[in-house]
Amino acid sequence: MLFVRQTLSNVNNSTPVFTTPKTKSSLAWVGLSDRVAAALQNQAGRQPNRALVFTRRGGQPLRPEYVLHRLHKLTEQAGLPRIRVHDLRHFAATTMLSSQVPLAMASKTLRHSTLSTTTEIYGHLLRHVALDAVKAIETALKEAEVA
């Protein structure tokens, strides 16, 4: 588990400053898989500035444009389309919902303030939920006929 206490924001697009998260719900625990936790611990062990996991060589925070440039370089090398860093969030949401992670859990993982926010953005991915609901009703009716 990881507890989010601060975010790194850029003032005037140039000066990195630690701030409190944007919403109260963002100030919370985030579940990490064993694989992600091990990768973060490994990366943290390489950093001179223990407050940050990903830094420049001197321990200063990474600049957002560097992260984007590096992402573009890696996707190009992998033969993948060019994406934004935020697109990784959409990928995570899409993967969770298409893998039938419950909507409420996906919403909490994404740190949406309401379930309706998640539904509005990703509702088109929930066809399987509608189908499951219809099948559950059909099963209940069949069981009621037999009883």
Give one DSSP letter per residue of 59-115, joined into a string: SPBPPHHHHHHHHHHHHHHTTPPP--HHHHHHHHHHHHHHTT--HHHHHHHTT-SSH
Neighbour tally for 112: CB within 10 Å: 20
Which helix (DSSP H) or strand (DSSP E) does residue 135 occupy? helix 127-146
pLDDT lower than 70: segments of the chain: 49
Output the pLDDT for position 83: 93
Output the pLDDT for position 131: 79
CB 40 within 8 Å of CB 53:
yes
How far is 97 from 107, CA to CA, in rounded Å? 10
> Residue 83 to residues 78, 123, 133: CA-CA distances in angstroms?
12, 22, 35
- Phi and psi angles of residue 61, each rounded to the nearest 5 degrees, phi first: -60, 150
Which helix (DSSP H) or strand (DSSP E) does residue 7 occupy? strand 7-11
CB 50 within 8 Å of CB 44:
yes
Beta bridge partners of 7: 19
Output the pLDDT for position 145: 86
Output the pLDDT for position 97: 87
